[in-house]
């Protein structure tokens, strides 16, 4: 039971971290796109 909960919390934080990374890269790519469009 404890192991299950531990794995669940780990996957939760992992997915959270991955989504954060995706968000950051997405926003950066958007920023670069706007810069390239302007110049």
Q: Cα–Cα distance between 31 and 25 in angstroms, integer?
A: 10
Q: Cα–Cα distance between 39 and 32 in angstroms, integer?
A: 11
Cα 26-29-30 angle, rounded to 5 deg: 85
For residue 19, give the 3-state DSSP assignment.
helix
Tokens of 18: 């991955």
* Residue at token pair 């670069």: 32
pLDDT one-digit tens code per residue, 1-39: 677 878 888 889 999 999 999 998 888 888 888 877 665
Tokens of 31: 């920023």
The pLDDT, as a whole number, for residue 19 is 92
The pLDDT, as a whole number, for residue 31 is 82
The pLDDT, as a whole number, for residue 16 is 92
The pLDDT, as a whole number, for residue 18 is 92
* pTM of the complete model: 0.53
């Amino acid at each position: 039971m404890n192991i299950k909960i531990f794995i669940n919390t780990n996957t939760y934080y992992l997915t959270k971290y991955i989504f954060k990374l995706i968000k950051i890269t997405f926003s950066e790519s958007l920023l670069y796109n706007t810069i390239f469009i302007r110049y």
